[in-house]
Structure 1
Amino acid sequence: MVAVRSAQGNHFVKNLLELMSPEDVAISSAFGKSTALHYAARAGNIEAAMWLVNKNPRSLYLCNIDRRVPLEEAVMFRRRNLILYLLEVTIKYINIKTDGNFPIDLQVMIAGDQFDIALSLVQRHHEWARMAPNWSPRELSSALHLTILKPYAFRSGTHLNWWQRLIYSYVPMKLEDFAYHSTHQGDIENPVDSFIPVKQKLYNVFWKVTQMLVPEIKYWQELKGKHYQVLELVKHLCNDVAKLNYSEAEETIRIPLIKAASVGIPEVVEVIFTVFPDAIANIETDMGQNVFQVAIVNRCESVFNLIYQFREEARETILSYADKNLRTCLDLAACLESEQKLYLRAHAAGAALQMQRELQWFKEVEKFSIFHGTRELSRNKTPAMIFTETHEELVKEGEKWIKDTANSCTIVAALVATMVFAAAITVPGGNDDKSGLPILFKDRAFIIFIISDALALFSSTSSVLLFLSILTSRYAEIDFLYTLPKRLVIGLVTLFFSTISMMVAFSTTLYLVLGYEKAWIIVPVTAFSCIPVTLFASLQFPLLLDMVNSTCGPSIFGKQSDRILY
């Protein structure tokens, strides 16, 4: 058992196995009740595992103290190659001791992130979707629920920037083919059809060459393949659960559906809606909230956007439901979300942007409300009044954050305006005593200096005025939606432009003073002048990008697919 933990001891293991009987291989250790095959599975020693299985195939089905077979040990320790081998031989010897029943729970594969293998198992044995593992608590008794608990495995749970999304959308998906897979899917690079169009061949050659030149492409292929496999797994699980009677199916699907809506996995919600249309109206939380109310409470716009795939007459009906506290979707949108999410988002992009997002949610849900914000609750408060009351502290935090930002930027813009104004009245080279004109006014570099200095002055002055308008704003709730963010965006852009213009003016000044006799000075001056511009861009660009995307970018709400769900 000690020797199989490392491949370096395989020579000793091979010689020792020749002296052992099959019964000796099945002996368990005193601690943990693990066999030698368990230890080989944990270490990923595939060569030793092959010798042990050939000596006694029944060791594949022996459980340790944790009631796990060697295959499960390999899954828990992420030993990929050993998983494939043990799975193959387990299927080969499946009738030795198990009477045709597979000795591994599907949830073990899912817990070990082996989604492709789990998909193959579900396709071969549909009943495994309903097997509850002994090691899981009650809330994890469903393989579907366990899949939902891994949102990072779905496309919606993978956060990509714009260039990553571009690569992801075009890269071909690579699907691995396993010997035990009964329904071979093939892949886009190696199609099984005997006739392949010339266009397809060129496409395949292009991506093969690209992968050789850019090895990172393989990562995106595997990522896209994993997302596909997880979604297919969910579809198979839902189809298997649909074969249960209605009450069992509804109970099995309820927790995964609510969980998917709360963590923001629209793919799962859409699949469940397709298989269980009644879940839209019948499945609720303990508070009596439906899926879309859960999405509103947790501010999961990706799940809420599924409402746009409903018929128009169904939207108002679904969003007009009231929970056990008689709160509709508009009431829930008016309430502030959990403190934990508020803390994370407020520190990520500023309380002002958080307030803007809250207003966007309230305005969007208000479009679907048949009461249009006029219905009074038992506490004599309309949704608008609830919004004002629950967001009072956020407004104060947003006001403080945006004032601090405007104050800091105002100081910088004022300094730039002061410097470029002084440079304008004390031009390099001096003025002619008789005419008063600049001595170097015919030089091209001087023209560049004058233009850049003027642009710096005008843009910095505009920036100061914009930040002053922010500081003197009334800071009403509605101002956080468009007015304040737009002013801050324009102020940051003009400040950035004034900084660039100022550095150009400074560089041309040095050239006019020293450039004729020391031309080499141009290179270091140009290089060093880029440093403050680069620093400003790197420090302020993330904030500016967030503000632009949130204010001027596409709305976070809207139809994502043309498929009608209800």
Structure 2
Amino acid sequence: MGTPLMETVYKAASEGKWDLMKEAYDEEHDMYVMSPITVSEDTPLHLAVYSKKVQPLKALLDIADKNPMLGNPCTKENAYGNTVLHEAVFAGNMEAVEHLLQFTPKEQGNYHPSMQLETENALGETPLYRAASCGKKEIVEYLVIKMKQISEGELLKNHRRRGYLEKEKNENSEKVDLKPILHAAIEGQHFETALTLLKRDPSLGDMKDEQGRTCLHLLAEMPSAFKSGYAMPKYSIRNLIYCCLSASNGDDDQSKSKKGWQVGRIQKEKDKHESALKLAQELIERNKRHWWQSINVVGPNKVTIETPGQGGRGRQSEGQKGGRNPGEGGGKGVDPGEGGGKGGQRVDPIPLFIAISNGIEEIAKEILEKFPQGVELVNETGQNIMHVAVMHRRLEIYSYVKKTFKSIMIRLSSRIDNNGYTLLHHVAHMKHYRGGTKPSPALKLQEEIQWFKRVQRAIPPSLSEKRVWVQRAIPPSLSEQWVQTPREVPPDNEGMQRWKELTALDLFQEEHKDQLKLAQEWIEKTSQSCSAVAVLLATVVFAAAYTIPGGSNDLGFPIFLHNRFFLAFTVLDVIALASSLTSVVMFLSILTSPFEYENFYHNIPRKLILGFILLFFSVMTTMLAFACTLFLIIHFRKKWTTGLISFAAFFPVTVFALMQFHLYFSFLSTMKDLFKEAGEYLPRYCCPFRCQRYKR
């Protein structure tokens, strides 16, 4: 085929001028209709399906059918092994798919249109597999039902996995990805398509990929597919819109776009979350009987687990056999949250624990509702659901378990894992810490201390002082109290592997040294800056008190003495001065406070929030006093002037409030504690509606 024709056809296809593309293959050039026109060896037939219509493809197929010597257009492959049907499926062109499966070329022997469904591309994907991986739900239903690609309730063998038939033929078989079809749909987050496949063939839910993961494992690793993992502030306009929207029930993208760009985007996210939840519910219902465990006690606080029906989960690993002293076994992985050593058989991860570690509340709660015994499941290191929730700081799941399984909470919280670590040691450790939910270093440290206090109240008092051996890389010159084990080798050129027996509090203070330093620096800089602003405001309002609006009469009395705006100006000026000076006192008290761990629990955050509130109140009253002064001067001569002054007065206050809203919201938990404590000490007649003691 000549270069000018290739350029003409490709340009016509790129611009969507399908009639021009058809006209290019007139009687003189019809022999080139199946010749490649792209570097990927796509023919015009491959490109015609992207028109979203059937006419361009139909016209080109008719041209190709007039030249039987060119071969079968339906079996023509590009460089990736994709036939025209593969490309039609990828483009989502339903009409083209139907036409291709009904098209029978002339003089093609025993060829049958359904043979197209058995053709695999270079990745071992059939058209049905490709449709599922691309989320083409309508095409999947058509191929499964109309084209009868299901037999006795199961998909045909070559559709169930990618490259299933090629593994035996491929000498380098370890490079062949045998991903099941349902896994492909889930990885692409096409949950409606996955639900369609699962309902047609329930056995797909039991299939595993080459890493041994089921579909539920994949879902448990996708926090963005659920509302709990969606990055959306609780108190925001987006969250309000999200809550007000209902499921679209399969509405197309065009109907969503009519709602507006942002609303349509939120609607799309909500549909995805609800579809993922439905799929998770189906998979949990089908798999709940597979999670039963047989726990064998092999020593003090040490267990091994087996799962009946899954071939046994093996014996205890070498890292779990070690003693608590640094010279007794122990192996590697002695930090809280780490697994055992290299010995023993591989233990399949539990979807419940994967969901908790990723913060997917929906899956965790659904599993516990349908399989309540799951609350007592343990992993290969003897950690139960509370250990995992605490390690990864999943407050919602921790609170849910504590509230739902209140009667056995003492048993769950008393569990010690195979390495000898309690819940409190897992809180103290920062291996799985992901930055917390608060916006500033001081509040992040407060959040960590709150976690420590929360868990400390939940566990038996005897476990609070339990000591465990902890292994660290510490330069010998920095700590003579650390015990060196001769058998350990240096991890690097800077230090040796050393051990020390620590309580949870000791471990917490050691792990959070850097966080404490950041919090100290942040709180010091913030207090200095805010106190400087508060002093400046106090200076302004103090000077304004001696500058009487409108002046004074001969007797020294203000001219506007009896005007209501003069009274408002006086009151607001006094309030602004008092609040600004009080905020200065609060920030100075922070600067003079000892920056220790315990002070970051309540003392410093409370002073900081009070200082911020007073500073905000000072800014607001200062602007209102300014507005009252202008109202006295202009006497409301023009309405638009009044509106402009009101806008000018409230604009900086509004901006200040919006910019610091996230910080105020973060202080709510601190203020709740303050109000709860006040309610405990005040008499009932002073606080008749006081709440019961606040528990977390």
Give the match for residue 31 of structure 1. Answer: 79
Query: What per-residue deviation string (whole Å, max 9, x for no partner) do you get for residues 240-294 of structure 1?
Result: 3346682429869734232212111132223334555554444314x44223212
Residue 478 of structure 1: CA displacement? Answer: 2.1
Does the residue aligned with 2:115 lie in a helix, a strand or coil?
Answer: helix
Structure-2 change in CA distance of 1:23 and 1:283 (3 Å): farther
Query: What per-residue deviation string (whole Å, max 9, x for no partner) do you get for residues 449-483 of structure 1?
Result: 21211111111111111111111112222222222
Give the match for residue 54 of structure 1. Answer: 102
Residue 326 of structure 1: CA displacement? Answer: 0.8
Q: What amino acid does structure 1 have at the position aligned with 2:423?
A: C
Does the residue aligned with 1:6 lie in a helix, a strand or coil?
Answer: helix
Q: What amino acid does structure 2 have at the position aligned with 1:14?
A: K
Give the match for residue 402 of structure 1. Answer: 523
Does the residue aligned with 1:64 lie in a helix, a strand or coil?
Answer: coil
Query: What per-residue deviation string (whole Å, max 9, x for no partner) do you get for residues 89-113 of structure 1?
Result: 3322225999953424211221222
State whether structure 2 residue 350 is matched by structure 1 residue 258. no
Report the Cα distance in structure 2 between the residues aligned to 1:500 and 1:220, rounded to whole angstroms. Answer: 35
Residue 48 of structure 1: CA displacement? Answer: 1.9
Match of 2:590 among 448, 470, 485: 470
Does the CA-based 8 Å contact 1:25-1:52 persist in structure 2? no
Does the CA-based 8 Å contact 2:281-2:366 persist in structure 1? yes
Does the CA-based 8 Å contact 2:85-2:127 persist in structure 1? yes
Report the Cα distance in structure 1 between the residues aligned to 2:574 and 2:394, rounded to whole angstroms. Answer: 47
Structure-2 change in CA distance of 1:110 and 1:248 (3 Å): same
State whether structure 2 residue 451 is matched by structure 1 residue 361. yes
Give the match for residue 376 of structure 1. Answer: 467
Does the residue aligned with 1:66 lie in a helix, a strand or coil?
Answer: coil
Q: What amino acid does structure 1 have at the position aligned with 2:234?
A: N
Q: Any unmatched runs of 5+ in structure 2?
A: 1-44, 104-112, 161-180, 291-306, 314-346, 470-499, 676-696
Report the Cα distance in structure 2 between the residues aligned to 1:267 and 1:215, rounded to whole angstroms. Answer: 27
Match of 1:88 among 129, 134, 142: 142
Residue 517 of structure 1: CA displacement? Answer: 7.5
Q: What amino acid does structure 2 have at the position aligned with 1:246?
A: P
State whether structure 2 residue 313 is matched by structure 1 residue 248. no
Q: What amino acid does structure 1 have at the position aligned with 2:286?
A: D
Structure-2 change in CA distance of 1:36 and 1:301 (3 Å): same
Q: What amino acid does structure 1 have at the position aligned with 2:205?
A: A
Structure-2 change in CA distance of 1:389 and 1:428 (3 Å): same
Q: Percent identity?
A: 29
Q: Any unmatched runs of 5+ in structure 1?
A: 179-210, 556-566
Give the match for residue 11 of structure 2. Answer: none
Report the Cα distance in structure 1 between the residues aligned to 2:657 and 2:446, rounded to whole angstroms. Answer: 24
Residue 362 of structure 1: CA displacement? Answer: 0.8
Q: What amino acid does structure 1 have at the position aligned with 2:446?
A: Q
Report the Cα distance in structure 1 between the residues aligned to 2:664 and 2:182, rounded to whole angstroms. Answer: 46
Does the CA-based 8 Å contact 2:140-2:193 persist in structure 1? no
Give the match for residue 316 of structure 1. Answer: 410
Query: What per-residue deviation string (whole Å, max 9, x for no partner) do you get for residues 192-247 of structure 1?
Result: xxxxxxxxxxxxxxxxxxx9999987776665554343233223223333466824
Structure-2 change in CA distance of 1:415 and 1:36 (3 Å): same
Report the Cα distance in structure 2 between the residues aligned to 1:289 and 1:127, rounded to whole angstroms. Answer: 31
Q: What amino acid does structure 2 have at the position aligned with 1:138?
A: Q
Give the match for residue 446 of structure 1. Answer: 566
State whether structure 2 residue 246 is matched by structure 1 residue 161. no
State whether structure 2 residue 155 is matched by structure 1 residue 101. yes
Q: Which moved more, 1:305-314 or 1:379-388?
A: 305-314
Match of 1:429 among 550, 555, 564: 550
State whether structure 2 residue 378 is matched by structure 1 residue 283. yes
Report the Cα distance in structure 2 between the residues aligned to 1:213 and 1:95, rounded to whole angstroms. Answer: 38
Give the match for residue 196 of structure 2. Answer: 120
Q: What amino acid does structure 1 have at the position aligned with 2:605?
A: P
Matches within 5 A, 1:166-565: 168-169=242-243, 171-176=245-250, 223-242=269-288, 246-248=308-310, 254-276=349-371, 279-285=374-380, 287-338=381-432, 341-342=434-435, 345=436, 349-370=439-460, 371=462, 373-378=464-469, 379-434=500-555, 436-515=556-635, 521-549=641-669, 551-552=671-672
Give the match for residue 150 of structure 1. Answer: 222
Structure-2 change in CA distance of 1:535 and 1:227 (3 Å): closer
Q: Which has the higher helix share?
A: 1
Report the Cα distance in structure 2 between the residues aligned to 1:362 and 1:301, rounded to whole angstroms. Answer: 12
TM-score, with normalisation over the residues of structure 1? Answer: 0.80
Match of 1:4 among 40, 44, 48: 48
Does the CA-based 8 Å contact 1:466-1:487 persist in structure 2? yes
Does the residue aligned with 1:389 lie in a helix, a strand or coil?
Answer: helix
Structure-2 change in CA distance of 1:367 and 1:297 (3 Å): same
Does the CA-based 8 Å contact 1:4-1:45 persist in structure 2? no
Does the residue aligned with 1:138 lie in a helix, a strand or coil?
Answer: coil
Query: What per-residue deviation string (whole Å, max 9, x for no partner) do you get for residues 138-179 of structure 1?
Result: 15x31111122221222322335336555555654454499x
Residue 42 of structure 1: CA displacement? Answer: 2.1
Residue 60 of structure 1: CA displacement? Answer: 2.5
Q: What amino acid does structure 2 have at the position aligned with 1:67?
A: G
Does the CA-based 8 Å contact 1:60-1:90 persist in structure 2? no
Structure-2 change in CA distance of 1:118 and 1:100 (3 Å): closer
Report the Cα distance in structure 2 between the residues aligned to 1:10 and 1:271, rounded to whole angstroms. Answer: 45
Report the Cα distance in structure 2 between the residues aligned to 1:537 and 1:96, rounded to whole angstroms. Answer: 61
Does the residue aligned with 1:322 lie in a helix, a strand or coil?
Answer: coil
Q: What amino acid does structure 1 have at the position aligned with 2:359?
A: G
Residue 493 of structure 1: CA displacement? Answer: 1.4
Report the Cα distance in structure 2 between the residues aligned to 1:321 and 1:51, rounded to whole angstroms. Answer: 63
Does the CA-based 8 Å contact 1:58-1:97 persist in structure 2? no
Q: How many residues align?
A: 511
Does the residue aligned with 1:254 lie in a helix, a strand or coil?
Answer: coil
Does the CA-based 8 Å contact 2:46-2:83 persist in structure 1? no
Report the Cα distance in structure 2 between the residues aligned to 1:29 and 1:336, rounded to whole angstroms. Answer: 53
Report the Cα distance in structure 2 between the residues aligned to 1:8 and 1:516, rounded to whole angstroms. Answer: 65
Report the Cα distance in structure 1 between the residues aligned to 2:192 and 2:53, rounded to whole angstroms. Answer: 32
Q: What amino acid does structure 2 have at the position aligned with 1:51?
A: H
Does the CA-based 8 Å contact 1:334-1:383 persist in structure 2? yes
Q: What amino acid does structure 2 have at the position aligned with 1:308?
A: K
Does the CA-based 8 Å contact 1:515-1:522 persist in structure 2? no
Q: What amino acid does structure 1 have at the position aligned with 2:467?
A: E
Structure-2 change in CA distance of 1:113 and 1:8 (3 Å): closer
TM-score, with normalisation over the residues of structure 2? Answer: 0.66
Q: What amino acid does structure 1 have at the position aligned with 2:273?
A: H
Query: What per-residue deviation string (whole Å, max 9, x for no partner) do you get for residues 54-108 of structure 1?
Result: 2223323321111112233344445x4xx31343233222259999534242112
Structure-2 change in CA distance of 1:384 and 1:508 (3 Å): same
Give the match for residue 193 of structure 1. Answer: none
Q: Which has the higher strand share?
A: 2
Q: What amino acid does structure 2 have at the position aligned with 1:402?
A: I
Does the CA-based 8 Å contact 1:266-1:306 persist in structure 2? no
Residue 358 of structure 1: CA displacement? Answer: 0.6
Report the Cα distance in structure 1 between the residues aligned to 2:82 and 2:593, rounded to whole angstroms. Answer: 71
Residue 324 of structure 1: CA displacement? Answer: 2.9
Does the CA-based 8 Å contact 1:334-1:362 persist in structure 2? yes
Residue 487 of structure 1: CA displacement? Answer: 1.7
Give the match for residue 182 of structure 1. Answer: none
